[in-house]
Amino acid sequence: MATIKDVAKIAGVSPSTVSRVVAGSSRISNRTKERVWRAMEEVHYVPNAIARSLARSHTRTVGFTLSRQADQAFSNPFFSEVLRGMSSAAQTRDYNILLSISMNQEEEGEKCLQLIRERRVDGLIVSTSRVKDSLIPILEREGTPFVIIGRSAEVPALSVNNDNQQASYQATRHLLDQGYRNVAFISGPEDLVVSMDRLQGYKQALLEQGFPFREERVVSADFSEEGGFRALYSLKERGVFFDAVLAADDLFALGTLRYAKHFHLSVPEELGVVGFNDTPLMTYTDPPLTSVRILSYELGREAMELLMDRLGHAGRQPMNKEVVLPSRLEVRQSSLRRTGSV
Amino acid sequence: MATIKDVAKIAGVSPSTVSRVVAGSSRISNRTKERVWRAMEEVHYVPNAIARSLARSHTRTVGFTLSRQADQAFSNPFFSEVLRGMSSAAQTRDYNILLSISMNQEEEGEKCLQLIRERRVDGLIVSTSRVKDSLIPILEREGTPFVIIGRSAEVPALSVNNDNQQASYQATRHLLDQGYRNVAFISGPEDLVVSMDRLQGYKQALLEQGFPFREERVVSADFSEEGGFRALYSLKERGVFFDAVLAADDLFALGTLRYAKHFHLSVPEELGVVGFNDTPLMTYTDPPLTSVRILSYELGREAMELLMDRLGHAGRQPMNKEVVLPSRLEVRQSSLRRTGSV
DNA sequence: CTGTTAGCGCATTCAA
DNA sequence: TTGAATGCGCTAACAG
């Protein structure tokens, strides 16, 4: 591998001059610029990113950590899309992504700190947004530039989130508009901020439309089809009636569909179903599933942009921007009740 | 951030001594070891990975590149699982993963070269296995340590693959055993090695069982549900009869199911269906889909192991191991014809 | 067992 | 506009 010295020798200049033309310094005569370019070509010179990182004391790489357990993670392509978005944004500004997938929150936290302390990355994108997240305060204290995908329930911080409450509100209203009067809500794990927010929207819609909010119609489960099925089953056992289900994840919706089939309930006539995430494959359920479409790709892209912006302003105060991305209800058959009026 | 010098000063030793105890050198007196440990604690010393990389001239990070267009990519969790496997293996040996997702093959190639030439990574894991892949020879020529997920059709190289041909063979035999006599094959894009292999297995099974291989029963399509549907539709239009479909991807199988419904063909009675990948959500199709289960997680893990092994033996000859992982046919209802015997 | 010295490849300050 | 010198933080060869 050719180094800056080799180029310097060939071009007949000093290494620092080469460094300058590589950096695009303006105070270099065109003649030597030319000579250096030529020499660089000749030896196929490519700057060593590691050496550069050491000298400049930043790496131009961003860490993205993820713990799997807690998330619906890879049953739906959410994080894949987030990654795509991140990668795409990174490309445009010549940043790199260091990825780490852990088994649990704890490992993830350790990995974050390691990446930062070893100075492997300039900043982090994290996706842990539990209600009492232990990681966020630590990162804050260490002065680490980071952005959250989701949002922090406690400390203000840079974050990119989808409007869970609003989305949930819309979805619930949609069910109400379709004439369903007893909407059950299958929530994800309760300590997730996202669960809180979605519950909130559900509640708001009910109240605002003059319907009572009943605790007993809310069940929380771990993200899985089975979890969804069981949630409803437990409702039934407890004698709680419902004619529609708002599922905080498409997997729950899938479980709901199975539940309906199991008990010979016709969807959407006897049971309306709305899911969350609009997982691509879900278009092919029977009947096609109404679901809240999340802009996962954009979530990743925005998060990366935000972080890169933040990294650009090394000296200044850390900003506390919270960007919220809209989601949209994709209405399909599972929630379209053919009411009398039609 | 504390450096090795700070530690040295506090411990009253030279920087190189500190470096040695960090590296776990044996030829250090326990007494100074103790002193150094203590000093490290005191200032919360963490070695700077960048400086270390520069000095040792390797980074302990592996690049993983991916171009999306060509792959079924994120409609199924294949690559997510691969990533998990890679990450898990990397953790155990303290390696890191640099991720890059490109829009197309060309960009991916450039990114690979960039990562290597900038010396950001020690090696690469690539997932492009087209029949005439332009990237592989280049990496080979540059002397880059790399492993392929899939396999190289031309040059021998380190690779981890699933036994596509065998899997396809089994799947076809299964359909034959169930009494289907006219098995159509929906293949992925023809320039993919994986397509070749799966076609081969299909062919082999037919021939071996004494059935003719008919070109006209093979259609190739881009990975999508629609592609699958259209493929069969075109078969029908051309007057090609089939009573079973081997789909080289679950998305095709999904399209097949829609096709069956559209033309009122009962599955599995009038049309047997087998897919590839065993996408989790596919368990919930109606009827549940028989599919070839791919060990994606293990694929990623093995690839990473292989590469790390390769990187360990810097001096020696590059190995040319090709590990093949077994897959298993998950038989469900979509291919279980209730034949007379039952 | 430990310290000294000399890099790793590049950026940057200070002179010229 | 350019070069020389110094440092980024750590490793490793060579002495002792």
* pLDDT tens string B157-186: 999 999 999 999 999 999 999 999 999 999
For residue B143, is it within any domain? yes
Answer yes or no: do A281 and B279 touch at CB < 8 A.
Answer: yes
CB-count burial class (<10 Å; 0-12, 13-18, 19+) for A196: middle
Q: Which amino acid is at B106?
A: E
DSSP letter (8 states) at residue A59? -
A218 φ, ψ (degrees, to nearest 5): -105, 125
pLDDT digit string, tens, across residues A210-238? 999 999 999 999 988 999 999 999 999 99
For residue B342, is it within any domain? no
Of B330, B329, B327, B328, residue with least CA distance to B160 = B327
pLDDT for residue A342: 40
| Residues B154, B101 share a domain | yes
For residue A56, is it within any domain? no
| Residues B289, B168 share a domain | yes
**Alpha-carbon span B298 to B300, nearest angstrom:** 5
For residue B53, is it within any domain? no
pLDDT for residue B1: 84
Ranges of chain B whose pLDDT falls below 70:
69-76, 313-319, 338-342
Determine the distance in angstroms separating the CA of A74 from the nearest CA of chain B, rounded to an integer: 6
Q: Which runs of consecutive H residues, i.e. helices, occur in chain A?
A: 4-11, 15-23, 30-43, 49-56, 78-92, 105-117, 135-142, 164-177, 193-208, 225-237, 250-262, 296-312
Of A334, A242, A325, residue with least CA distance to A287 = A334
Q: Which domain holds residue A111?
A: 61-162+297-326
Residue with CA nearest to C12's C1' atom: A16
| Residues A182, A239 share a domain | yes
For residue B52, is it within any domain? no
- In percent, the amount of chain A with pLDDT more than 70 equals 94
| Residues A266, A204 share a domain | yes
Q: Is the CB of A48 under 7 A from strand C?
A: yes
User: How many domains would you assign to chain A?
Assistant: 3
User: Are residues A146 and A138 in contact, defined by beta-carbon separation less than 8 angstroms?
Assistant: no
| Residues B171, B147 share a domain | no
Which neighbouring-strand residues pair with B161? B324
For residue A55, is it within any domain? no
User: Are residues B250 and B75 in contact, defined by beta-carbon separation less than 8 angstroms?
Assistant: no
Residue with CA nearest to C8's C1' atom: B55
B67 φ, ψ (degrees, to nearest 5): -115, 140
Residue identified by tokens 């280049």 is B138
DSSP output for A73-138: TTTSTHHHHHHHHHHHHHHHTT-EEEEEEESSHHHHHHHHHHHHHTT--SEEEE---BTT-SHHHH
- Chain A contact present for B49, CB below 8 A: yes
B46: the nucleotide nearest its CA (via C1') is D9
Answer yes or no: do A87 and B75 touch at CB < 8 A.
Answer: no
Of A198, A234, A206, A207, residue with least CA distance to A72 = A198
| Residues B279, B173 share a domain | yes
For residue A53, is it within any domain? no
| Residues B283, B233 share a domain | yes
| Residues B106, B32 share a domain | no
A141: which chain B residues are within 8 Å (Cβ-Cβ)?
Answer: none
pLDDT average per 10 residues of sequence, chain A (342 residues): 94 95 87 94 97 97 84 66 94 97 91 97 90 89 93 89 97 97 96 95 97 97 93 97 97 95 96 94 88 95 96 68 95 83 41
| Residues B289, B222 share a domain | yes
pLDDT for residue B79: 85
| Residues A286, A176 share a domain | yes
- Chain B contact present for A51, CB below 8 A: yes
| Residues B171, B22 share a domain | no
Residue A321 contacts by C-beta under 8 Å, 6 or more apart in sequence?
A158, A159, A306
pLDDT for residue A184: 98
pLDDT for residue B201: 98
A254: which chain B residues are within 8 Å (Cβ-Cβ)?
Answer: 281, 284
Tell me the CA–C1' distance in angstroms for B117 and C14.
33
**Alpha-carbon span B67 to B135, nearest angstrom:** 12
Sheet strand arrangement including A183-187: A218-220, A183-187, A244-247, A272-277, A290-293, A328-330
| Residues A282, A217 share a domain | yes
pLDDT for residue B75: 62
B114: which chain A residues are within 8 Å (Cβ-Cβ)?
Answer: 46
CATH number, domain of B87, equals: 3.40.50.2300
For residue B55, is it within any domain? no
